[in-house]
Amino acid sequence: MARILVVDDSTTIRRLLRDMLTGAGHQVVGEADTGVKAYTEYVRLKPDIVTMDLGMPTMDGLAAMSKILAPFPEARFLVISAMEQRQVIEEALERGARGFLLKPFTEPQVKEAVASILKQPFSTTEFREKARRYRSSKKNESQADNAFAEVFSPYNVERAANGSIRIEINPHFSVGSCAALALETKFECQAVCPGVKFDFGGTGHLDRKALAALNKLMYELHQTCGGVTAIIPNDKMVRQIQDDHAADGQLTFLALLVEETQKI
C-alpha cells in the first residue's frame, strides 16, 4: 500500500483517482488543485507518490515538481495529463517524473503505473538521463521542434455558481484531449446542470479530427447536459468550422452554433 497525494485542478479527476487508488488498496492522504498547494501538502504529508497534473493555475505541474524535488529529491511523481506534446513528456521525465499517463486513463493503467513506480529504485538521475538520451535520438529534428513549449492545458473546465459548466478550448486540443474531456464532463453532468458553454477564446485553428470529435461531444452534451452554447470570437476558427463542414458535413452541430452566434 502507498500513501498518495492527488494533484489536479479538476474535482472530477481527483475523485476518479481517489476511487481508483483506494480500490487498489492505496491510501489517498491528500488532494491539491494547484502547484502551490501541491508543494505545501507534500511538505505536510510526505506521501510515497504524487499523481501530478501539469496544466494548473498559479503554478503548473512541472514547476511544482521542481519546487518539491529541490528539498525532497526522493519524491516520486506519476504525471497524469491531457497534454500529449512530446516536448512536455520529455520535460516531465527530465524533471524527475517516474511515470506518465495520458488522460483519459483506466483503472488498470493507474494501478499498473503506481505498482511500477513503487518497484523502482530511487534515482532521479536515471530518469533525467533517459530523457536526455531520448532527446539526443531526435537530433535530426529542428531545434525549434525540440524546444520546450510552455505548459498550456488543452482545455479547462469550470463549474459556475448556478451549476452550469464552462469549457475553455485551447490550441493544443486533440482527439486524445477530447476523450479526456468526455470523461470529465460525463461525471460533471451527473449533477443537475443548466447547460454547458464552450469558449474557444483566441484559438484560431484545431486539428480536423479533433474538431470532428469535439463536434460529436458537444452534440451529446447538448442532449444530456442542459443544452450547449459556444463563444467563438476568432474569425479564423469560424472559417475553419464553416469550411470543414462544407467539405465533409461532419461539423453539423458546430456549424449551427456558428450561425447562432453570428445572428447575435
Q: In what order do the strands lie in the sheet with 49-52?
A: 27-32, 3-7, 49-52, 77-81, 97-102
Domain with CATH 3.30.750.24 in the chain: 155-263
Per-residue model confidence as pLDDT tens digits over 85-101 = 778 888 888 888 899 99
For residues 27 and 17, give the distance between their C-alpha atoms in angstroms, rounded to a whole number: 11
Q: Which CATH superfamily is domain 155-263 in?
A: STAS domain (3.30.750.24)
Question: Among 68-77, 116-125, 150-159, whose mean pLDDT is lowest?
Answer: 116-125
Of all residues in the chain, the percent with pLDDT exceeding 70 is 87
For residues 113 and 100, give the distance between their C-alpha atoms in angstroms, rounded to a whole number: 8
At the topology level, CATH places domain 3-145 in Rossmann fold (3.40.50)
Q: How far is CA 110 from CA 26, 44, 56, 164, in A?
A: 11, 24, 20, 30
Residue 230 has pLDDT above 70, yes or no: yes
Which residues, including other chains, have CB under 8 Å from residue 77's CB and lie 6 or more apart? 49, 50, 51, 52, 65, 92, 96, 97, 98, 99
Per-residue model confidence as pLDDT tens digits over 89-134 = 888 888 888 999 999 999 999 999 999 999 987 655 665 565 555 5
Q: How far is CA 218 from CA 12, 84, 179, 249, in A?
A: 19, 22, 12, 16
**pTM exceeds cut of 0.75:** yes
CB 65 within 8 A of CB 97: yes
Of all residues in the chain, the percent with pLDDT exceeding 90 is 60
Give the pLDDT score at 95: 82
